Amino acid sequence: MTLSAFTAPGRFWRGNLHTHSDRSDGALPAEEVCRRYAAEGYDFIALTDHFTGMFNYPITDTTGFRRNDFTTILGAELHSGAMRNGELWHILAVGLPPDFTPSNSPGFLPVEGQETGAELARRAREAGAFVAIAHPQWSGLTLEDARGLEAAHAVEIYNHGCAVGCDRADGAAIADLLLTEGRDLTLIATDDAHFTEPDHFGGWVMVKAEENDPDALLEALKRGDFYASQGPELRDVRLEGKSLVVESGAVATVIVQGKGCAAIARHGESMTRTEMPLVRFNASPWIRVTVIDRAGRRAWSNPIWF
């Protein structure tokens, strides 16, 4: 068994799925945001401005900034309803139609009578979007909150803006608990860039598709044909008998995680092929992989289900 990202036809395209412009609370115009990502070697981005009334519910039109070697996917960061801590939901929706019906979300505080986060996420998924739970640690998200967002395709396992701005970048704890409850979820790394601090070019997805086309990329995201990274390259993750084989760029650590405390690690120098026994995962319905290079940068596979 091999993860579909490594067997699907096509090639890998590097993209950021969470970015802001001056259409909401970002510092730069949309055209300049796109220019900078293209200049840094990205193949695509989704510009996901805050979908609230104070910004006139923007789904920022980036179609005019597409080039032969760079494309964009329309999207937004959606907000509606209160989480358990009383704060507003933050839901990433990539691939929204331009005429997506706004929620009743005038600002960044919940208001009486607005739809719940779960209802808004469901509407976005039904409209064709790839939906992700944004920055769980930054939001103060509880497991009960996360359980309720049943329409989510993915969890942000890493948010670079939250790493830089408040050291709350992690989504792994929530993701692993949901996986253990049987939720079929994938894992994305993002920037959440506002260009007000060094919150950009730090986390991305590598999406396997036959062409760098918004529709092809969106369908690949929904299928799970990608991995997330801060820098390291994953080349293959596959089961061979009772072992897991991980092929990668040069890394110093390879970790396999599963249900509960099930985990195993290998450490070395410039490892590119690592074989891990799976005996510790006999009671786990899923596993996933993290690789770490000598600079401490990580890449994460999507889960493998047994």
172 plus 41 within the same structural domain: yes
CATH of the domain at 268: 2.60.40
Domain count for the chain, please give it. Answer: 2
Structural contact between residues 195 and 161, judged by C-beta atoms closer than 8 angstroms:
no
- Neighbouring-strand partners of residue 286: 305
**Regarding beta strands 243-258 and 234-240, do their DSSP bridges make them parallel or antiparallel, or are they unpaired?**
antiparallel
Copy the structure tokens of residue 151: 């329409």
289 plus 170 within the same structural domain: no
Which residue range is the domain that position 9 belongs to? 4-229
Q: pLDDT tens string for the chain (306 positions)?
A: 789 999 999 999 999 999 999 999 999 999 999 999 999 999 999 999 999 999 999 999 999 999 999 999 999 999 999 999 999 999 999 999 999 999 999 999 999 999 999 999 999 999 999 999 999 999 999 999 999 999 999 999 999 999 999 999 999 999 999 999 999 999 999 999 999 999 999 999 999 999 999 999 999 999 999 999 999 999 999 999 999 999 999 999 999 999 999 999 999 999 999 999 999 999 999 999 999 999 999 999 999 999
Q: Tokens 């019906």 — which residue?
A: 101
Strand, coil or helix: what is 157? Answer: strand
Which of 201, 229, 257 is the last residue before a domain boundary?
229
Q: Which amino acid is at 281?
A: F
CB atoms within 10 A of CB 69: 10
Strand, coil or helix: what is 32? Answer: helix
Structural contact between residues 209 and 4, judged by C-beta atoms closer than 8 angstroms:
no
275 plus 132 within the same structural domain: no
269 plus 180 within the same structural domain: no
Q: Model-level pTM?
A: 0.97
Copy the structure tokens of residue 284: 């786990």
CATH of the domain at 41: 3.20.20.140
| Distance from C-alpha of 58 to C-alpha of 196, rounded to nearest angstrom | 20
139 plus 266 within the same structural domain: no
